Chains A and B, each alone.
Chain A
Amino acid sequence: DTEVTQTPKHLVMGMTNKKSLKCEQHMGHRAMYWYKQKAKKPPELMFVYSYEKLSINESVPSRFSPECPNSSLLNLHLHALQPEDSALYLCASTQGQGSYEQYFGPGTRLTVT
């Protein structure tokens, strides 16, 4: 199974709402990532979890809060977002560091109204 799943597929939320994005993989990968992607642009790294510990936080605003409950799950909690946060949010996982490729989920299309 080389699949990374993400839910929901689409999400529309107001600026005062609280919502969560979910990512799951069952490949035994120990590193998981959140990316933000604007239309026709490359993915921008937001967070990296390695062995369930947050290892990289790319100066992301605190209205985005990641959580890694176990080695297969990754959540992104959203609160008080801005319209400019509307984007495709991608989750990825990798077997390890160095030469290993990342496997991406299909993404969650987020619209903030």
Chain B
Amino acid sequence: AQSVAQPEDQVNVAEGNPLTVKCTYSVSGNPYLFWYVQYPNRGLQFLLKYITGDNLVKGSYGFEAEFNKSQTSFHLKKPSALVSDSALYFCAVRELNNDMRFGAGTRLTVKP
């Protein structure tokens, strides 16, 4: 089965500093990888996806992610963090039966 892992439960970063939220994947065939963000008591919001092509994917709110096949990683990045970026972030992979399988989530806290 396809799977993703988010090795960090919590990431803390100061406002204005770059942020990285890590994700590694294990898939058969070509991976369809996604990042979602969830604010408290809200649904998940789609940020970006990798399907094929350029390894650097740009998404919403200034986020980007780098697909690295050799390291089987798909880390989420932002050059300059905002306090409003504080939320729960989920990496996900599309299963062969087309379900979405989510990582455990990483809580990002951006401090002023």
Residues of A within 8 A of B (CB): 4, 6, 31, 40-43, 45, 48, 56, 88, 90, 92, 97-99, 101-107, 109
Is B49 a contact partner of A56 (Cβ separation < 8 A)? no
CB distance from B28 to the nearest CB of A (A): 14
Is A102 a contact partner of B46 (Cβ separation < 8 A)? yes
Chain A interface mostly? strand
A50 closest partner in B (C-beta): B98
Choose one: A31, A98, A105; the contact of B32 (CB below 8 Å): A98
Mask: chain B, 89-106; 1 = CB below 8 Å from A; 0 = not: 010001001111011110
Most buried by A among B49, B94, B103: B94
Interface size grouping (class) on chain B: 20 to 34
Q: Which of B63-112 contact A (CB under 8 A)?
A: 88, 90, 94, 97-100, 102-105, 107
Is A101 a contact partner of B98 (Cβ separation < 8 A)? no
Is B42 a contact partner of A106 (Cβ separation < 8 A)? yes
Most buried by B among A42, A56, A97: A42
